[in-house]
Each structure stands twice: as C-alpha cells, then as structure tokens.
Amino acid sequence: MQKEIDVSKIKALAVDLDGTALMPDTRIGERTVRCLKSLVDRGIQVMLCTGRAVESSQRYYSAIGATGPMVFFNGAEVAEVPDVKVISSNLLGTDVIDYGLDLARSMDIHFQVFFPPRDSPWEALLIEKQRPEAEMYRKHTGIVPVVTDLKAVIAEPGTKGGFKAMFICDPALHGEIRRKMGGRFGDSIYMANSYPSFLEVMNAGVSKGEGLKTAMKCRGLKMEELIAFGDEENDLPMFGVAGFSAAPSSAKEKVRQAADFVFGSNAEEGLAAFLENLFN
C-alpha cells in the first residue's frame, strides 16, 4: 500500500543529482530549476545528497538557491554551503588507497582519489595517468584532475587518507574489483555504484544515510518531515533515514522497489513533475 504524504508536514527534500535531478547529459533542466527554486523560496529546505564533490555540486545548489548542510562523497563529507564549512568527514585509509592503486595498475584500469583541500578551497582530485576515463569524468563533473604519483602522495607525512577512491571502467569488471577489495578489507570499507561505470570505495560507516542523519540533525529535521529522492544503490541508505522515498522510473529496479513512490524518468524531468503535483 502506497504511503500518503501530508504535505503540510514536509519541511525538506534530500535530492540525489546524477540520474535523479539531472538530465542524462548532467544538465539540470529549466523546469527542475524553477520547481526547486520555487520550493526553496517557499521555505522548503533542499539538501543535495550526492556522490559528487562540493566543487562539482556548486553550480546546482547555486542555481536553485539552496544553502545549508548538504551531503557529498556519498556521506564521506557533510559540509555547509555556500561557505563550504566542513561539518563532518570520514576518510578512507591510505592502506586501502595503496591496494586499490596496485589493483588498478594490474588490471590496467582508471583509478582516482579525492583528498581533502590542499592548495585551493576545493577537494583535490588526483590521478596517476591521463586516460580517456579521466577526460570523461572531467566532462561529467567539471573537475580537472591533477596527474601525480599517488604512491608518493599517500606516503607524505600528514596524509591521513582520502574522501573516496574510484575505479572507472567497464561495469563487467566491477565484480572482480569488489571481490578483491572486499577480500582484503572486508567490512572496513564500503563500495557502491554512483554511475554505471563508477565503482566508489569509501571508509566503513560512510553512506548517504549516515551523512543525511548528520545534515538533518544540524537542520533540526525529523524523519516524517523529509522526502528522499534517488536512483542508484548508493541512495538506498538515505531511503531508510527519510520518512518518504521516491525514485525515477529510470532508476535501478531494486531502488524502484524500495521507494515509496516512482515518478517519471530524469530525462523527462520527472522529479519536477512529481514535486509540482505534490506541492500544488
């Protein structure tokens, strides 16, 4: 039986970006911008809950005028925007990064790591080699990676770890990577897909659900006051934190099955249509 939402009690929306709020080409549609901006203007809190970095999320939260604590790197970082004040972080150990790098080298696949800010206010995206996948990620996010010796970086005094490591490769290889990483580190790491070819590795305890709990506490929100929107497996943890959950028709089947509501695909700005109908 489908849940019924008392709209008068809804104070906030937890919104995933890729595959949910964004078009397939990563643009945010004009209808979606108008809809979310209108809700922000009406006092509804819109929190981005994304696998993206703060830097690559800026254009989206700025477009809709959303501010306050939000979830980045699948929950490895919770930061208040637009001032980018870090509220919490959970870093992946250098030993995991080191092993992941060796694995990527042996499989000849792309590997990258986000580290805390160094010489700029933004997180540092580091890679070892300029591959087609790196250029694809740059076009996808707008973040320019720095080519460097990752072994040397993690060996530097004071390097505590990174927000997340990511393998970008044929999804058919993800099973092997999961087996090897999981076999080595077990439940001390968390792995999730945030995009078909992206396999992300984070520290244990990291999830959008945990990040969302922190953001909700900062905002003084209760479960029943929140609707969560997502399309990928990394969105499932926040479905359990929110009072209501919704997924686009283009979402993975298990995500659609877990959601309380299913709306139109992201290619058709289904999120905007759902919210317009709900709040009107």
| For residue 82, cis peptide bond before it (omega within 30 degrees of 0) | yes
The per-residue pLDDT of the chain, averaged, comes to: 95
pLDDT digit string, tens, across residues 125-173? 999 999 999 999 999 899 999 999 999 999 999 899 999 999 999 999 9
pLDDT digit string, tens, across residues 217-251? 999 999 999 999 999 988 999 999 999 999 999 99
Task: Please state which CATH class domain 7-89+207-279 belongs to.
Answer: alpha beta
Predicted confidence at residue 2, as pLDDT, reads 66
Whole-structure pTM value: 0.89
121 pLDDT tier (thresholds 50, 70, 90): confident
Which fold is adopted by the domain 94-203?
3.30.1240
Say whether pLDDT at 1 is over 80: no
Strand ranges inside 55-209, DSSP E: 68-72, 77-81, 85-89, 110-115, 124-127, 146-147, 164-168, 189-195, 198-203
pLDDT digit string, tens, across residues 242-276? 999 999 999 999 999 999 999 999 999 999 999 99
Domain residue extents for the chain: 7-89+207-279, 94-203
Instruction: Give the bridge partners for 111, in sequence order.
Output: 167
